[in-house]
Structure 1
Amino acid sequence: MRASTDLDALTDFFDRYGVALTAGDVPSLTGCYALPGLVVTDTYSFSFSSLAAVALSFVGAAPDYHERELVAAHALIEDVQPVSALLTEVAVEWEFLDSRGARVPGERYRYLLRSTDTGPVICTVVRTG
């Protein structure tokens, strides 16, 4: 097994992640994460060591997306860098669509992904903009 730098595989992973995110599909979201994991932003950081902790971090996301009428999320992959034999860093800008089909600019993140037998999983998320 090698770190995934295949754009089609990474696009598929982030497509599934975006669908789960806007649908509030917490079980699918938690399946996208490795344990333990880390999230880092300018103002806070948190780590999680259980799927329950990952799930709790997404509890408020779905109502927020519904309130903002965001119905779809698409990851625009900006950069892919292999880090090691099983780790890949992926820079993503999220683009959202609202209920009227209008594009809503999102935020930028860097994801550190680990390749596994079942596909990539997120180890670390860093909000970059």
Structure 2
Amino acid sequence: MDHAEIDDYLDRYAETLTRFDATAAASLWAEPGMIVDDRFSGVLEDRAAMARGLEHSYPLYRALGLASVGHELLSATPLTGAITLVHVRWLFLDADGALLTDSTAYYVLRRDEDGPHACVCIQVDDASKLQALAADRGIDLAQFLPEPPSA
């Protein structure tokens, strides 16, 4: 994959996040997909599960004032003919285009017959940056956590 193909993929992914379109965002993932950060690692077996997970985060993003998402491609390292390790900086902007926060992540992208798909995402700092933004805006993150199952 060259930088143009990767940038196109990241542009499309950012656009789905800007539109809060979980189904379109999930379509850019391989099945299954894996997300890893300092506290969590999980496999989402299919795109429907991925879409549900994304939809769960949207109320928080709206409360934080997220209006659009951009990106900077920091690096791309080909691993095989079809697999590339991508380092990206996501830019989260408000309605005026001002930077709310950013985050960095690594993706393992695989070029399939219908284009690139993310197989793995390693989130570097998104949790801490979202927590800091929420604290700065006086937003209690607990209200956005899922309800524990009743006994």
TM-score, normalised by the number of residues in structure 2 = 0.78
SS at match of 1:113: strand
Kindly provide the amino acid, as one letter, of the partner of residue 52 in structure 1.
Answer: A
1:52 Cα deviation from its structure 2 partner: 1.6
Higher relative contact order (CA 8 A, sep 6+): 1
- CA–CA distance in structure 1, aligned partners of residues 96 and 110 of structure 2: 36
Distance in 1 separating the partners of 2:33 and 2:114: 18
Q: Could you tell me how far apart the structure 1 residues matched to 2:92 and 2:12 are?
A: 14
Asked if 1:62 corresponds to 2:58, the answer is: yes
Give the alignment partner of residue 114 of structure 2, picking from 109, 118, 121.
Answer: 118
Amino acid at match of 1:86: A
4+ aligned runs moved over 6 Å, structure 1: none
Q: How many residues align?
A: 125
* Corresponding residue for residue 105 of structure 1: 101
Q: 1:11 is matched with which residue?
A: 7
Calculate the aligned-residue CA RMSD, in Å: 1.1
**In 1: Cα distance, 2:86 partner to 2:124 partner:** 12
CA distance in 1, matches of 2:58, 2:75: 27
For residues 55-85 of structure 1, the C-alpha deviation after alignment (integer angstroms, 9 at most, x for no partner) is: 1110122222211111111111101000112
**Of the two, which has the highest radius of gyration?**
2
Considering fraction of residues, name the structure with more strand. Answer: 1
State the match for 1:92 in structure 2. Answer: 88
Instruction: Measure, in 2, the Cα distance between the counterparts of 1:127 and 1:26.
Output: 18
Q: 1:100 aligns to what SS in structure 2?
A: coil
Unaligned runs of 5+ in 1: none
Q: Please, which runs of 5 or more residues in structure 2 have no aligned partner? A: 126-151
Q: Identity rate of aligned residues, in percent?
A: 29
